[in-house]
Amino acid sequence: MAALLLRRALRVSLTLAAATVAGVAAHVWAADAHAQEGFGLYQAAVTSPAPRVVGQESRRGHPVVLGSRMVSGPGSGVKFTLDDRTTVIIGPNSAVSVDEFAADRVVLRLERGSFHLDSANPGNVYVVMPSGTVTVRAATVAGRILPDCTEVALLSVGRAEVAGFGGHAVKLEKIGAATRLTGLGGPSQPEQLSPQRLQDFIGLTSQIAQR
């Protein structure tokens, strides 16, 4: 009789132990499933957004994407129009990107070469260059990065401000007014370009503009 009771007690203990192990395994499997599901949701949350198109290249109609870099080679250039109708032309051996685009603020970054900007934005258009920044408001401005300096000129009615990274700035308020940035110093006092030098600026991009 005692042996029979002992066998029954062992059978009950083994049954309880098996149930406990099964419960722990089920909990682990459920936690792992939740973790995998959560990881999938996290992956979906960090998926990169679709590129934002902010304009169009004029010659072939390629889209201009925010943050993309446009480069021209020797003897060539690129003309594009932003969605606010601002027109940008870069001359040969130039590189530019559209870093920001909003209804009242556009930021372009010119790495090298030359540019011609006809602003249609009701706010400010900023052209960031290695030696300073040009702020354009309802005007046409051209500039070029040379080996020893950077030149910027106002080509239409309107106004522009040229600032060095040291904080000093000058205003261009008359057609043909120009300034120079040398190194990381401030811009020079504006000077009035001669007709020949003014034509040099206009000629930088006039052929590209007609394409």
Q: Note whether 112 and 95 are within 8 A (CB).
A: yes
Closest C-alpha among 63, 143, 140 to residue 101 = 63
pLDDT for 197: 84
pLDDT in tens, 34-47: 434 444 444 445 56
Give the separation between CA 179 and CA 177, rounded to whole angstroms. Answer: 7
> Do residues 71 and 166 share a domain?
yes
| Same-domain pairing of 30 and 96 | no
Q: Which of 47, 65, 80 is a domain's end point?
A: 47
pLDDT tens string for the chain (211 positions)? 444 434 444 454 444 444 444 443 444 334 444 434 444 444 445 566 788 999 999 988 999 999 989 999 998 899 999 999 999 999 999 999 999 999 899 999 999 999 999 998 889 999 999 999 999 999 999 999 999 999 999 999 999 999 998 889 999 999 999 999 998 789 999 999 998 888 877 776 555 555 5
Torsion angles phi and psi, residue 65, rounded to 5: -100, 140
How many domains is the chain partitioned into structurally? 2
Whether 37 and 112 map to the same domain: the answer is: no
Inter-residue contact 98 to 67 (CB < 8 Å): yes
Q: Residues 190, 120: one domain?
A: yes
Q: What is the pTM of this model?
A: 0.74
Q: What are the tens digits of pLDDT across the range 81-125?
A: 999 999 999 999 999 999 999 989 999 999 999 999 999 888 999
**Could you identify the residue written with the tokens 């594009």?**
80
Domain harbouring 152, CATH code: 2.60.120.1440
32, 57: one domain: no
106's enclosing H/E stretch is: strand 105-112
Write out the residue range of the structural domain in which residue 150 sits.
53-209
Indicate whether 123 and 185 sit together in one domain. yes
**Residues 96 and 158 placed together within one structural domain of the fold:** yes
3-state secondary structure of 94: coil
If asked whether residues 64 and 23 sit together in one domain, one would say no
Strand 140-145 versus strand 169-172 pairing type? unpaired
Q: Which two tokens stand for residue 48?
A: 């990169």
